[in-house]
Structure formats: structure tokens, C-alpha cells
Amino acid sequence: MSIGNVSAVLVHGAWADGSSWSKVVERLKAHGINAVAAPLPLTSLHDDVAALNRTLERIEGPVVLAGHAYAGAVIGSTRADSVKALVYVAALAPAEGETVGDVFYRGEAHPLAPKLSPDQHGLIWLPEEAFAAAFAQNATAQELTVLGAVQRPISVSCIGEPVERPLWTDRPSWFLSAEQDRMISPDTQHFMAQRMNARVHSHQVDHTPIVTAPDVVTDVIVEAVQAVSTR
């Protein structure tokens, strides 16, 4: 199997959309890897997994599935046979019976982390100032403007559903640990990666390296694709 036969499916997290992966998509294409950004409704974990599965159904051949932040719970909840490896980018990886909230709030919050609470519709929005303070502190002013403008809220339902047996117990996984993350504690990322037995790449990047350090993210995904293509 050649590297070009393996597709990468990229899954966005909370307060983002598929465009957050645009720089990584371009770089993967330069490596000859087909990449698709899967859109999530962010209405419940169940809904998001169903949406991911619809994207996976459209893709022929083996897939490396990459998730950023909240999307770690989503990629771990699919049962698609086409998925041959998982890549977690500063992502949450709840174990069986845990919720996203359990792992997100496991460690002590960074002093600049935003205080999050749902609105009257049960939706959690990221405060505008939090993009520069914690979500992507290494982003340019232009990147921050776009991140704030396209943000999509996440439902409380997404973070309260216990997950079933996660796919990372049965598939090889990679974990990009963001050492400057102010949203998800680096200590929590190390904890999750270790219990997953993931191949860990630690980098001095912020919570959103898919925007601020796309080369680093691309390298990890390419490594996973190469590993799958040689099996």
C-alpha cells in the first residue's frame, strides 16, 4: 500500500469549523495525501459521531483519523473499519465510562483559561478575548480575527455523555502534546497519552497548533499515514 492510498480525515473541535484545518490540508496535499475535513454539528457527542461516520462512508480505502481538542472524543467513538490509526492533536481522550468534562476538568485550570458556562439554549460560547488569551495565543491578529468570526458553540450535551470503549484501545494512536496549552492542561494530555499507549510528540505549541504550527501537526499525521501504508 502506498502513502497516496491512505486518506486523512480531520475533525475540528469546539468553537471551530473545518476551516481551522486549512493549513494542514494544504500541507498534506503537498505530501500526496488526500485530506477531508469532517463537519460536526457540535450538538451532542452522539450527533457528532454520526456526522463523522457519514463523512467516513464517503471515503474509499484506509483512513487516518485526526481530531483536535474536543474531537478526540469523537474520533475515539467511531467504529468504522476503515480507520487504521488515530491522531490526537491537543485532544481529549476519555476512557470507557468517562465524559469529555471528566478529562477536560481533570487538571488545574490555567490562570488565563476562560470561565465557561452555557447560555439559555444550553450552548457554550468562547468569550472573544479567550481566543488570544488561551485558545490560540500564538496566532496572528488576522488568524485571531477569523477564529473569533467563525466560532461555533458547543452544546453541553457534548461534554456530558459517557463514551463507550474507545477506538484507541484497538488501533495505533499518535498524540501531539501541546506544552503551551492553556485550555487543556499539558499534564492531562500526558496522562491521556500514556494510558492510550500513544506515540507521543511533545511540542512548545499552543492549544490550536492546526492554525499556529501546521507543519508540526502535518508531520505527525504523515508519520501515522506512513505507518499505516507499510503495514
Distance CA 212, CA 200 (A): 19
**How far apart are the C-alpha atoms of 16 and 96, rounded to whole Å?**
26
**Separation CA 104–CA 174 (nearest Å):** 19
What per-residue confidence (pLDDT) applies to 2? Answer: 67
Pull the grid cell for residue 179: 506544552
Tens place of pLDDT per residue across the chain (231 aa): 667 799 999 999 999 999 999 999 999 999 999 999 999 999 999 999 999 999 999 999 999 999 999 999 999 999 999 999 999 999 999 999 999 999 998 988 899 999 999 999 999 999 999 999 999 999 999 999 999 999 999 999 999 999 999 999 999 999 999 999 999 999 999 999 999 999 999 999 999 999 999 999 999 999 999 999 986
Nearest CA to 11 out of 71, 101, 93 is that of: 71
Output the CATH code of domain 3-229.
Answer: 3.40.50.1820
Assess contact for 195 and 95: CB atoms under 8 A: yes
